Amino acid sequence: MGWYATFVLAFLYWLSILDRFIISLLVEPIQRDLGIDDVQFGLLHGLAFSLTFSLFGLAAGSLADRFPRRVVIWGAVSLWSLATAACGLAQHFWQLLLARVGVGAGEAGLNPAATSMLADLFPPGRLTTAMAVYAMGSTVGSGTAFLVGGLLVEALSDMEGLQLPLLGAVRAWQLVFLAIGLPGLAAALLIFTLPEPLRRSRGELATPGGYRVLLSFMARHWRFYLPVYLGFGLASMLISGGGVWYPAHMARHYGWSSAQIGLFLGTTLMGVGVAGKLLAGWFVDFLHRRGHRDAQLLWYGCCCLVAGPLALVTMASHHPWLFTAGVGAFMILLSPMAACCYAALNLVTPNELRGVGVALFSATAGIAAVSAGPVLIAWVGNAFFPGSGALGMGLAAVFAAACPLAGILLLAARRPMRALAAAGS
């Protein structure tokens, strides 16, 4: 039942990322029809989503510690599916902005409840692999957004101005949102094919502790939590920002069509993302079983150090195939972020605080990653590297600076993690 639950949760994670990132492939038609610039689009993809993702995630974490997690997940999936479909009804920038707020609010409920369930279904020596399989939904979702989204854009391009009952004339990009959002209402019911797992390893708290208790616990162990939050937050910012701007950079700088971008970028991200997560899950769990209680930070910190110079060469490249191959290698290194992060947090955070613990990280990292990432990359590119390659140089500069810093922070948290793991065992 543990692995079946993992695959169901991974599918729902896939659906959430598909709904989240499909907008990245629709930059040009949305900007054309709604009259918005790159910075506005960065805010649309970033702040509108991340702020609500963060705020509602805090509430969802508390709910996940107090109520059946299956019900929390069902409500979350239903909400973001309706909001994605609502993106397809937008006629103005502010309407699309409000719909993106709904997507962020719904998706905020998945990770706190899902990772809490997995932590109760698997022993510590298998948890990172389970988290990696769950996190594969993220990689496949982003890849599918490029792959399927590109094909949908091409297929629906001839249906521009289609008249639908009650809706009237709709544009091709609006049809994409409707086609992806509405099936999620049925997919949400899959969570009820799983039993609610017993909450194991309860500590001294008779009831869920809440954010006051969590913050007190984190303050006592800040040498672990501060660098972990900063390091994984930086990595999340890069993954999110890159996912937003890869397609636009390939279209502008290399002249690729939506179908070409979707096919090659989507296939690359899915293949290497799955490989990277499985490799990290197996290796980290192997190290953990050999006594390395800081295996998640050791593995991912080293990956970040390697990713910095790789990203600098890749993102500044004038050759599309080198760019695509480099992005693939980069994602092998960074794609296991969620698996390593959630496993590390759940292994040292008391059971009573796991929901709020993951939610608080998602809230803070969500603001830094999904909000700041797209805007920062666009700003750096336009401010310091004007021209057709502005996005590529913005990606290169931000990645080259942030990757080594993330690696140093995570490696610095290894000793505190070992001490926390020993105290909790």
Question: Domain locations in the chain?
Answer: 2-190+210-424
Q: What is the pLDDT of residue 169?
A: 65
For residue 6, name the pLDDT band (cuts at 50, 70, 90).
Answer: very high
Determine the Cα–Cα distance for residues 340 and 214; give it in Å rounded to an integer: 20
- Helix 337-348 with 222-254: angle, nearest 10 deg: 170
For residue 222, name the pLDDT band (cuts at 50, 70, 90).
Answer: very high
189-203, pLDDT tens digit by residue? 999 999 888 887 555
* DSSP helix/strand/coil, 164: strand
Give one DSSP letter per residue of 175-227, joined into a string: HHHHHHHTTHHHHGGGGGGS---------S-SS--HHHHHHHHHHHTHHHHHH
90-108, pLDDT tens digit by residue? 888 888 888 888 898 899 8
For residue 110, name the pLDDT band (cuts at 50, 70, 90).
Answer: very high
User: What is the dihedral sign for C-alpha 218, 219, 223, 229?
Assistant: positive
Q: Is the pLDDT of residue 204 over 60?
A: no
Q: Is the pLDDT of residue 167 over 70?
A: no
Determine the Cα–Cα distance for residues 222 and 32; give it in Å rounded to an integer: 47
For residue 314, name the pLDDT band (cuts at 50, 70, 90).
Answer: confident
Please name the residue ranges forming H helices in 88-123: 93-107, 110-121
Q: What is the pLDDT of residue 160?
A: 60
381-413, pLDDT tens digit by residue? 888 887 767 788 888 899 999 999 999 999 999
> Quick one: average pLDDT of 132-138?
86
Q: What CATH number does the domain located at 2-190+210-424 have?
A: 1.20.1250.20
For residue 299, name the pLDDT band (cuts at 50, 70, 90).
Answer: very high
Q: Is the pLDDT of residue 353 over 60?
A: yes
CB atoms within 10 A of CB 45: 27
* DSSP helix/strand/coil, 127: helix
Q: What is the pLDDT of residue 33?
A: 77
Give the residue among 335, 302, 325, 115 at the shortest CA–CA distance from 236: 335
Q: What is the pTM of this model?
A: 0.76
